[in-house]
Amino acid sequence: MASGTEAVDFLVVGSGSGLDVANAVANRDQSVAVVEKDPLGGTCLNRGCIPSKRLLYHATVRQTIDRAEAFGIHADVTGVDFAEIVRDVNDDVSGSAESIRRGLRSSNHHTLFEGMGQFVDDHTIEIVDGKDAGERIRAETILLAAGSRPSIPDIEGIEDVPYLTSREALQLEAPPGHLVIIGGGYVGAELAHFFGTFGSDVTIVGRRPRLLPHADEPVGISFTERFRDRFDVHVGYEAVSVSSGDERSSSGDDSSADAGAITVDARPYSPAWNDASELDDVTVTGDTLLVAAGRRPNSDTLALDVPGVETDEQGFVETDEYLRTTADDVWALGDIVGEYLLKHNANHEARTVVRNVLRDELDPIDYTAMPYAVFASPEVAGVGTTEQALIAADREYATTTYDYADTARGTAMNAEGFVRVLIDPDGTILGCHIVGPDAASLIQEVVVAMKAGSGTVHDIRESVHIHPALPEVVDRAFSSQFVLAGHDHDHSHDHNHSHGDGHEQDHSHGDDHEQDHSHGDGHDHHHGHGTDHDHGHDHDHGQRGDERGPEADSG
Q: Which residues of 368-405 are buried (b: 16+ CB within 10 A; e: fewer)?
A: ebbbbbbbbbbbbbbbbbbbbbbbeeeeebbbbbbbbe
Secondary structure class of 121 (helix, strand, coil) = strand
Q: Which residues contact 72 (CB under 8 A, 6 or more apart)?
A: none
Which of 245, 236, 234, 232 shows the shortest CA–CA distance to 157?
245
Distance from chain centroid for Cα 118: 26
What angle (nearest 5°) sits at the alpha carbon of residue 150, between those of residues 145 and 152? 140
Q: Which residues contact 474 (CB under 8 A, 6 or more apart)?
A: 419, 432, 434, 442, 445, 446, 460, 465
Phi–psi pair at 408, nearest 5 degrees:
-65, -45
Torsion of CA 525, 526, 532, 538, to 10 degrees: -110
Helices 217-228 and 186-197: angle between axes, nearest 10 degrees: 30
Give the DSSP H/E element, type plus range, for residue 245. Answer: helix 245-251
Amino acid found at 470: L
> Which DSSP symbol is given to 44?
H
- Answer yes or no: are the C-beta atoms of 114 and 36 closer than 8 Å: yes
Q: Catalytic pick from 110, 433, 458, 467?
A: 467
- Answer yes or no: are the C-beta atoms of 290 and 165 closer than 8 Å: yes
Which of 340, 391, 371, 348 shows the shortest CA–CA distance to 516?
340
Which of 31, 28, 33 shows the shortest CA–CA distance to 11?
33
Amino acid found at 7: A
Query: For this structure, is 535 an active site residue?
Result: no
String of DSSP letters for 178-243: EEEEE--SHHHHHHHHHHHHTT-EEEEEESSSSSSTTS-HHHHHHHHHHHHTTSEEEETEEEEEEE
412 CB neighbour count, 10 Å cutoff? 11
Cα–Cα distance for residue pair 176/198, rounded to 1 Å: 9
String of DSSP letters for 369-428: T--EEE-SSS-EEEEE--HHHHHHTT--EEEEEEEGGGSHHHHHTT---EEEEEE-TTSB
- Which residues belong to the active site? 467
